[in-house]
Amino acid sequence: MSEMLTSLTAGMPVPFGGDKVSIVSEELAAAFAKGDRLVVVQDSGALLHITANEASIASDAVTAAAHAFAAMGSVDDAAITAFYEAFAQRLESEDSFAPIAAANQADIALAQQRGRTTTRLELSDKMRDDMVAGLRTWAGATTLRNQVAETITHDGWQVDQITSGLGVVGFVFEGRPNVFADATGVLRSGNTVVFRIGSDALGTAEAIVEHALEPALATSGLPSGAVSLVASAAHAAGWALFNDSRLALAVARGSGAAVGQLGSVARQAGTPVSLHGTGGAWIVASAQADPTSFADAVYNSLDRKVCNTLNTCCIVAEQADDLIPVFLKALTRAAERRGTNAKLHVVSDQISLIPDSWRGNVSIVRAGGPVDEPQTSTVDWVELGEEWEWEDSPEVTLAVVDSVDHAVDLFNAHSPRFAASLISDNEGEHTRFFDRVDAPFVGNGFTRWVDGQYALDRPELGLSNWEFGRLFGRGGVLSGDSVFTVRSRVTQTDWSVGR
């Protein structure tokens, strides 16, 4: 027999994981009120407090998206195409874009006041152009709705396997305004979407909804709520969204810890997840690496900090004397391009391989401003996978390894298993590297190619590492046209057929 939870008491034990207990804190007990919800994360025992208001905001958005999905079956593909074109035109129009730009500037100013990074927040001309291009990509994409993927013929009847919309997709992502184009891609395959954006970009998101997205939905004839925003800056709104069992798929991208927690909440609610949180690419330079190719790969992988930026570099010991100076020069060039200094981490027992000129203090640009700190710090081997979230100063870990196989073993053990690149002139090494490295994205040069729109001409909902990513035939790139289900439809011509 169950009862509604109406209050909490400080010191109250809350079981989780079958054999462990979390304790309610005084702060949580004081804040919890009737109508609120408590989600216990079974992986960690974290007690997530969702206020009644945040639960209502998220529930209303999911309800709108669920009603819209019920109506999508009677919407033709031309209306979906018209939506993308209308959305793109509204973003191109200076009149409708002006209030969006103003909201973005206000978001940037507030983020800077709080010492937050604004690298991904700024809605630049390039980001705006990319959003428009992404929407037009979806406008021109071949529909997957009600397409016959396979026909199995029997005597007197046949079975058609038909691709159809999956349902309501829940999407939580970091403060990057351009993700709107990615999120709306799921409409192409007949889904609807409800999403929450990071608090830094909420004002920008609300302006895009008001001045571009909602008008595009209205003019195209798509059902209201087909794209719904959870208009809340509270993390609890994201928890509430992912705790809603009406979602057909939960997609999260952002920082690794937050994404992992959101994924746990969704899985507990019985919703499949696609998580895109921890990134950081690795480059391995073999004993047969061309120094110029290696230098170019490092430099071109450090233009800005995103998930596919070079994070860890391994150099085979046989070439260390020659390639470490090449690496440091490329790292310096990447920093100079941004008008700053680079930050290096090196395995602690290899600090002697780094020149004295790299061991003093320099100015490193952090999110809160320049900081005077050692240019080179040390890490343990088990820390090779730590992702560096840098602002303007490129930040990379360096390790000298025994062999390419040694580097692969380290990658498989300690990295987020995301993107890996081998610099080598030996084709056999590349074959072995691909066969052994546990990553969805593998290359032979710069790492920044890992991007759905850049590499595959499809805006992405996220780039997945292997954590909860190996679902059926899904690859590492989750895009709008890969979110679908398959329905079976039988056509019987011989009425005498029976079992």
Closest CA to 426 of 447, 442, 404, 441: 404
Looking at residue 473, its pLDDT comes to: 55
Looking at residue 174, its pLDDT comes to: 79
Looking at residue 118, its pLDDT comes to: 81
Distance CA 484, CA 191 (A): 8
Angle at 495 (CA atoms; ends 490, 499), nearest 5 degrees: 75
Looking at residue 177, its pLDDT comes to: 83
Closest CA to 443 of 241, 284, 300, 312: 284
- Cα torsion 453, 458, 459, 464 to 10°: value is -80
User: Which residues, including other chains, have CB under 8 Å from residue 2's CB and lie 6 or more apart?
Assistant: none
- Judge contact between 396 and 311, C-beta under 8 A: yes
Looking at residue 469, its pLDDT comes to: 55
- Judge contact between 185 and 459, C-beta under 8 A: yes
Looking at residue 402, its pLDDT comes to: 98
Looking at residue 3, its pLDDT comes to: 85
Looking at residue 276, its pLDDT comes to: 79
What does the chain come to in residues? 499
* Token pair in block for residue 454: 């850049």
Looking at residue 456, its pLDDT comes to: 83
Segments of the chain with pLDDT less than 50? none
Interstrand relation of 395-401 and 343-347 (parallel, antiparallel or unpaired)? parallel
Looking at residue 479, its pLDDT comes to: 79
Distance CA 399, CA 98 (A): 48
Distance CA 466, CA 415 (A): 11
Query: Domain 55-278+471-488 is in which class?
Result: alpha beta
> Token match 């400080």: residue?
10
Looking at residue 460, its pLDDT comes to: 78
Q: State pTM to two decimals.
A: 0.83
Distance CA 313, CA 327 (A): 9
Superfamily for the 281-454 domain: Aldehyde Dehydrogenase; Chain A, domain 2 (3.40.309.10)
Distance CA 128, CA 178 (A): 7
Domain positions in the chain are 13-53, 55-278+471-488, 281-454
Query: What is the Rg, in whole angstroms, of the alpha carbon atoms belonging to the chain?
Result: 25
